[in-house]
Amino acid sequence: MLTSNPLDILLAHDRWATKQILQTCQKLSSEQFHQKFDIGPGSLHAAALHILSAMRAWDDVLAGRPQRPRLDEGGTQKTPAELLMLLEESADDFAATAKLHPLEETVVRTRGGKQYTFTRGGVITHVTTHGMHHRAQCLNMLRHVGASPLPPSSVVEWMAAGEPK
């Protein structure tokens, strides 16, 4: 059955669309996956790692736990297959945490010595639109390395595909 719940749509689409990008990256050479571009985090690898790192960081905020080390700091290198495994784990955790409390509740994030207060719904929306922003950069990078066909990524394509996870 098709879902109409915006929270469920945001979470499931975000996972699916990132998975589409990473599955396409599995077909690339290591050189293509790490090729430097003057856009976003700078490579397909760096963009994917950044998407997952941000999801995990915000999951920690929503869960009220100490921040785990960021995946995108310290020169971590992951294959597309390893990133797919991290996506499944991170998306499962984020979705579970996102659904624990009312969206209007607030959370506090401390960054750079400054505290920020956000609604849970705002954080969830940020994580999913942040992922979309960087996936658009990935589509551009994939186009430049000659990937064809480009992976589907829009909500309409997700719905047309039968709303897979």
On the question of pLDDT at 1 being above 60, the answer is no
Pick the residue with more confidence: 28 or 75?
28
In total, the chain counts a number of residues equal to 165
**Euclidean distance between CA atoms 6 and 129, whole angstroms:** 13
Residue 153, Cβ density class (10 Å: 0-12 exposed, 13-18 middle, ≥19 buried): buried
Residue-wise pLDDT tens digits, 23-33? 999 999 999 99
Q: Give the pLDDT confidence score for residue 3 in this predicted structure.
A: 82
Q: Which helix (H) or strand (E) holds 119?
A: strand 114-119
Considering only CA atoms, which of 134, 149, 158, 140 is closest in space to residue 48?
134
Q: Tens of pLDDT along 88-140? A: 999 999 999 999 999 999 999 998 999 999 999 999 999 999 999 999 999 99
Helices 6-25 and 80-98, packing angle to 10 deg: 170
Residue that wins the pLDDT comparison between 129 and 163: 129
Helix or strand (DSSP H, E) at 109: strand 106-111
Residue type, 29: S
41 three-class SS: coil
Model confidence at 165, pLDDT cuts 50, 70, 90, reads low
pLDDT for position 74:
83
Query: What sign for the dihedral angle of Cα 122, 123, 125, 126?
Result: positive
Kindly report the pTM of this predicted structure. 0.95
CB atoms within 10 A of CB 71: 21
Could you tell me the two tokens for 29? Answer: 């050479």
164 pLDDT above the threshold of 80? no
Q: Where are the domains of the chain?
A: 6-160
Q: Could you tell me if 32 and 44 are in contact, meaning their C-beta atoms sit under 8 angstroms apart?
A: yes
**What value does the mean pLDDT of the chain take?**
95
CATH number of 6-160: 1.20.120.450
